[in-house]
Amino acid sequence: MKIETRQAIDPRHAKTFDTAALRAEFLMEGLFKPGEVSLVYSHYDRLIVGGAVPSKGTLELSAAKETGTPGFLDRREAVLVNIGEAGTVTTGSGTYDLGHRDMLYVGMGDGPLGFSGGHARFYILSAPAHRKLETRLVTIDAAKRVDLGAAETSNDRSIFQFVHPDVMESCQLVVGMTTLHGGSVWNTMPAHVHDRRSEAYLYIGLPEDARVFHMMGEPGETRHLVVRNEEGILSPPWSIHCGAGTASYTFIWAMAGDNVDYKDVDMVGMEDLK
């Protein structure tokens, strides 16, 4: 298992970054390596983001010194998303079969975690928790679907809410998935910020030669990152987060912070973007 630590970056500091520095601090590459568990420990709300690709045999996630606890989930909750073919996750309380794009919420203390499935690819999200909640599998068919946007504005999309107050209870993780329909490329525009929560993005479903231009930064000081398939973004509370792709795509969004109110955002007017 490999863990990389990312420090929190002040927006005044971020203004001085060139492209290489922005990518080093906010872009997450190489999360899905065959036969490995790869994690990024972020000082934004202590989010842990990563991937597990069992490919051959079983991979285990039982402990990480960065959490300061004997077990990885002793003081944490987690959400595991299968972005590959069918796979299996074992927890302290049971075994769960995940199909493509299903999500498993794992409550505090329900470790260790085991990952198996020769063609499964597991996206890992974790945040500190304050109490134990029941581990629960939410399939994509059981997620709450919200359709937004229009083809005329290139943002016709479906939002699937998995770990969300309208579907189930969590301590602080809120996780879902947004799929852009054919011909649409924009997500989350007009933009917003939520100063009370950090967010992580994972872009999936992109052709090999396609890219997403992920927009970030303060509303009056925007930047962009060029992102490939299965690469992630750490989005600070002070930053907008939206993007446009050269082809349609899906992204998994995850939030952690002061509350679980999905609609607790500060909208940014188009006239305020620079």
Stretches in the chain below the pLDDT threshold 50? none
The pairing of strands 87-90 and 95-98 is: antiparallel
Domains of the chain: 2-272 (2.60.120.10)
Which residue type sits at 131? R
Residue 181 DSSP symbol: P
User: Residue 164 annotated as binding?
Assistant: no
Q: What is the pLDDT of residue 190?
A: 85
Q: Structure pTM?
A: 0.96
User: Measuring CA to CA, which residue among 182, 90, 177, 195 is closest to residue 140?
Assistant: 177
Is 199 annotated to bind a ligand? Reply is: yes
β-sheet bridge partners, residue 244: 186, 213
Contact call for residues 59 and 36 (beta carbons, < 8 A): yes
Q: Is 166 exposed, middle or buried (0-12, 13-18, 19+ CB in 10 A)?
A: exposed
**Which residues, including other chains, have CB under 8 Å from residue 143's CB and lie 6 or more apart?**
103, 160, 161, 162, 167, 176, 177
- pLDDT for position 188: 83
| pLDDT at residue 59 in the model | 98
What sign for the dihedral angle of Cα 132, 260, 4, 61? positive
**Rounded Cα–Cα distance for residues 134 and 153 (Å):** 40
C-beta atoms surrounding 52 within 10 Å: 31
Q: How far is it, in rounded angstroms, from Cα 7 to Cα 70? A: 23
Q: How would you classify residue 125: left for phi > 0, otherwise alpha for psi between -120 and 50, otherwise beta?
A: beta
Task: Please check if 100 is assigned to a binding site.
Answer: no
Query: Does the annotation place 13 within a ligand binding site?
Result: no
Q: What is the pLDDT of residue 56?
A: 86
